[in-house]
Protein backbone atom coordinates (compact mmCIF):
# COMPACT_ATOMS: atom_id res chain seq x y z
CA UNK A 1 0.00 0.00 0.00
CA UNK A 2 1.08 3.56 -0.67
CA UNK A 3 2.69 5.24 2.33
CA UNK A 4 0.81 8.53 2.49
CA UNK A 5 2.26 11.16 4.76
CA UNK A 6 1.15 14.27 2.90
CA UNK A 7 -1.91 15.09 0.83
CA UNK A 8 -2.05 17.92 -1.69
CA UNK A 9 -5.51 19.34 -2.20
CA UNK A 10 -6.68 21.28 -5.22
CA UNK A 11 -9.84 23.29 -4.63
CA UNK A 12 -11.56 26.59 -5.14
CA UNK A 13 -10.25 30.03 -4.37
CA UNK A 14 -13.95 30.75 -3.94
CA UNK A 15 -16.17 28.84 -1.51
CA UNK A 16 -18.96 28.23 -4.05
CA UNK A 17 -22.67 28.39 -3.38
CA UNK A 18 -23.26 24.90 -1.95
CA UNK A 19 -22.57 24.79 1.81
CA UNK A 20 -21.95 21.03 1.54
CA UNK A 21 -18.63 21.79 -0.16
CA UNK A 22 -17.47 23.79 2.84
CA UNK A 23 -18.35 20.85 5.10
CA UNK A 24 -16.38 18.54 2.83
CA UNK A 25 -13.33 20.81 3.03
CA UNK A 26 -13.54 20.79 6.83
CA UNK A 27 -13.75 16.97 6.88
CA UNK A 28 -10.76 16.64 4.56
CA UNK A 29 -8.60 19.10 6.49
CA UNK A 30 -9.54 17.59 9.84
CA UNK A 31 -9.03 14.04 8.59
CA UNK A 32 -5.58 14.84 7.25
CA UNK A 33 -4.54 16.33 10.58
CA UNK A 34 -6.03 13.47 12.60
CA UNK A 35 -3.97 10.99 10.59
CA UNK A 36 -0.79 12.94 11.33
CA UNK A 37 -0.38 13.78 7.65
CA UNK A 38 0.69 17.12 6.20
CA UNK A 39 -1.78 19.12 4.15
CA UNK A 40 -0.25 20.77 1.08
CA UNK A 41 -2.17 23.40 -0.85
CA UNK A 42 -1.93 26.65 -2.79
CA UNK A 43 -1.32 28.83 0.26
CA UNK A 44 -4.22 31.22 -0.18
CA UNK A 45 -6.31 32.61 2.63
CA UNK A 46 -9.57 32.62 0.69
CA UNK A 47 -12.20 30.23 -0.59
CA UNK A 48 -12.60 26.53 -0.05
CA UNK A 49 -8.85 26.09 0.12
CA UNK A 50 -8.54 28.08 3.31
CA UNK A 51 -11.51 26.26 4.85
CA UNK A 52 -9.57 23.01 4.52
CA UNK A 53 -6.31 24.58 5.69
CA UNK A 54 -7.93 26.16 8.74
CA UNK A 55 -9.65 22.90 9.65
CA UNK A 56 -6.31 21.06 9.53
CA UNK A 57 -4.60 23.73 11.63
CA UNK A 58 -7.44 23.74 14.15
CA UNK A 59 -7.04 19.97 14.50
CA UNK A 60 -3.33 20.46 15.22
CA UNK A 61 -2.08 19.45 11.79
CA UNK A 62 0.84 20.65 9.71
CA UNK A 63 -0.11 22.72 6.66
CA UNK A 64 2.28 23.79 3.90
CA UNK A 65 1.20 26.41 1.36
CA UNK A 66 2.92 27.43 -1.87
CA UNK A 67 1.94 30.66 -3.55
CA UNK A 68 3.54 32.82 -6.23
CA UNK A 69 4.41 36.34 -5.10
CA UNK A 70 2.15 37.88 -7.76
CA UNK A 71 -0.85 36.05 -6.25
CA UNK A 72 0.15 36.48 -2.63
CA UNK A 73 -1.96 39.63 -2.39
CA UNK A 74 -4.96 38.76 -4.59
CA UNK A 75 -5.35 35.31 -3.05
CA UNK A 76 -4.35 36.80 0.30
CA UNK A 77 -1.56 34.55 1.47
CA UNK A 78 -2.48 32.59 4.59
CA UNK A 79 -0.43 33.97 7.48
CA UNK A 80 -1.00 31.16 9.97
CA UNK A 81 0.48 28.20 8.13
CA UNK A 82 3.16 25.85 9.39
CA UNK A 83 5.17 26.82 6.29
CA UNK A 84 4.49 29.20 3.42
CA UNK A 85 6.62 28.85 0.29
CA UNK A 86 6.75 31.96 -1.90
CA UNK A 87 7.54 31.15 -5.52
CA UNK A 88 8.42 33.26 -8.55
CA UNK A 89 5.91 31.62 -10.86
CA UNK A 90 2.87 29.35 -11.11
CA UNK A 91 5.14 26.64 -12.47
CA UNK A 92 7.34 26.77 -9.38
CA UNK A 93 4.26 26.77 -7.16
CA UNK A 94 2.88 23.65 -8.79
CA UNK A 95 6.27 21.95 -8.62
CA UNK A 96 6.61 22.83 -4.92
CA UNK A 97 3.17 21.37 -4.22
CA UNK A 98 3.93 18.28 -6.31
CA UNK A 99 7.29 17.63 -4.61
CA UNK A 100 5.79 17.73 -1.13
CA UNK A 101 2.77 15.51 -1.79
CA UNK A 102 2.37 11.73 -1.69
CA UNK A 103 -1.13 11.95 -3.17
CA UNK A 104 -3.55 14.49 -4.65
CA UNK A 105 -7.21 15.19 -3.90
CA UNK A 106 -9.41 17.34 -6.10
CA UNK A 107 -12.21 19.03 -4.18
CA UNK A 108 -14.85 21.28 -5.74
CA UNK A 109 -13.29 24.29 -7.38
CA UNK A 110 -13.13 26.42 -10.48
CA UNK A 111 -10.96 26.78 -13.55
CA UNK A 112 -7.70 26.82 -11.61
CA UNK A 113 -8.70 23.59 -9.91
CA UNK A 114 -9.45 22.02 -13.30
CA UNK A 115 -6.07 23.18 -14.57
CA UNK A 116 -4.35 21.60 -11.58
CA UNK A 117 -6.32 18.35 -11.92
CA UNK A 118 -5.56 17.91 -15.59
CA UNK A 119 -1.92 18.79 -15.13
CA UNK A 120 -1.34 16.23 -12.40
CA UNK A 121 -3.41 13.69 -14.35
CA UNK A 122 -1.47 14.16 -17.56
CA UNK A 123 1.83 14.09 -15.68
CA UNK A 124 0.75 10.65 -14.48
CA UNK A 125 -0.33 9.69 -17.99
CA UNK A 126 3.13 10.35 -19.38
CA UNK A 127 4.85 8.63 -16.47
CA UNK A 128 6.25 11.63 -14.60
CA UNK A 129 4.79 10.29 -11.39
CA UNK A 130 2.59 7.51 -10.09
CA UNK A 131 1.03 9.11 -7.04
CA UNK A 132 -2.69 8.56 -6.34
CA UNK A 133 -5.08 11.18 -7.76
CA UNK A 134 -8.54 11.20 -6.17
CA UNK A 135 -11.43 13.36 -7.35
CA UNK A 136 -13.61 13.95 -4.32
CA UNK A 137 -17.15 14.34 -5.52
CA UNK A 138 -19.79 16.04 -3.42
CA UNK A 139 -23.43 16.44 -4.41
CA UNK A 140 -22.39 15.28 -7.92
CA UNK A 141 -20.37 18.44 -8.51
CA UNK A 142 -17.76 16.55 -10.54
CA UNK A 143 -20.18 14.31 -12.51
CA UNK A 144 -19.69 16.40 -15.70
CA UNK A 145 -15.92 15.99 -15.32
CA UNK A 146 -16.29 12.20 -15.29
CA UNK A 147 -18.55 12.44 -18.34
CA UNK A 148 -16.00 14.58 -20.14
CA UNK A 149 -13.21 12.07 -19.52
CA UNK A 150 -15.53 9.24 -20.65
CA UNK A 151 -16.27 11.20 -23.82
CA UNK A 152 -12.55 11.73 -24.49
CA UNK A 153 -11.91 8.00 -24.04
CA UNK A 154 -15.02 6.96 -25.97
CA UNK A 155 -14.03 9.06 -28.97
CA UNK A 156 -10.56 7.56 -29.00
CA UNK A 157 -8.54 10.51 -27.74
CA UNK A 158 -7.32 8.68 -24.65
CA UNK A 159 -6.90 5.00 -23.98
CA UNK A 160 -9.20 3.02 -21.70
CA UNK A 161 -6.39 2.86 -19.18
CA UNK A 162 -6.87 6.60 -18.60
CA UNK A 163 -9.55 5.47 -16.16
CA UNK A 164 -6.71 4.09 -14.00
CA UNK A 165 -5.09 7.51 -13.70
CA UNK A 166 -7.59 8.75 -11.14
CA UNK A 167 -10.50 7.61 -9.06
CA UNK A 168 -13.71 9.39 -8.17
CA UNK A 169 -15.14 8.99 -4.70
CA UNK A 170 -18.08 10.49 -2.88
CA UNK A 171 -17.08 12.41 0.22
CA UNK A 172 -14.15 12.64 2.61
CA UNK A 173 -14.44 9.20 4.24
CA UNK A 174 -14.43 7.49 0.85
CA UNK A 175 -11.37 9.55 -0.09
CA UNK A 176 -9.44 8.37 2.97
CA UNK A 177 -10.50 4.77 2.26
CA UNK A 178 -9.31 5.08 -1.34
CA UNK A 179 -5.99 6.49 -0.19
CA UNK A 180 -5.58 3.68 2.33
CA UNK A 181 -6.19 1.13 -0.44
CA UNK A 182 -4.00 2.82 -3.07
CA UNK A 183 -1.14 0.62 -4.29
CA UNK A 184 2.48 1.66 -3.95
CA UNK A 185 3.49 4.05 -6.73
CA UNK A 186 5.27 2.29 -9.57
CA UNK A 187 8.71 3.77 -10.03
CA UNK A 188 9.47 4.88 -13.56
CA UNK A 189 7.41 5.64 -16.66
CA UNK A 190 4.21 3.72 -17.47
CA UNK A 191 3.99 3.96 -21.28
CA UNK A 192 1.12 1.45 -21.17
CA UNK A 193 -1.09 4.24 -19.87
CA UNK A 194 -0.50 6.58 -22.82
Q: Which is nearer to ligand AMP, 28 or 182 (CB)?
A: 28
The count of residues in the chain is 194
With CB atoms as reference, the residue minimizing the distance to ligand AMP is 112
Q: Chain centroid to CA 181: how far?
A: 17
Phi, psi of 18 (to 5 degrees): -95, 115
- Does 9 bind ligand AMP (CB under 6 A)? Our answer is no
Q: Which is nearer to ligand AMP, 52 or 55 (CB)?
A: 52
- Does 92 bind ligand AMP (CB under 6 A)? Our answer is no
Q: Which is nearer to ligand AMP, 55 or 71 (CB)?
A: 71
- Does 35 bind ligand AMP (CB under 6 A)? Our answer is no
Site string for ligand AMP, 106-135 (x = CB under 6 A): ---xxxxx-xx-------------------
Binding footprint of ligand AMP on the chain (CB under 6 A): 12-14, 42, 44, 71, 75, 90, 109-113, 115-116
Amino acid sequence: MAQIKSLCIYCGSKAGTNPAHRALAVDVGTGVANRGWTLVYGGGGIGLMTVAADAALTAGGKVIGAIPTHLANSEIRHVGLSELILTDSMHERKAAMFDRADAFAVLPGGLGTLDEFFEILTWRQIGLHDKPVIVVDNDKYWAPLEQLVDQVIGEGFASDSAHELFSVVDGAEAMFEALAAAPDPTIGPRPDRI
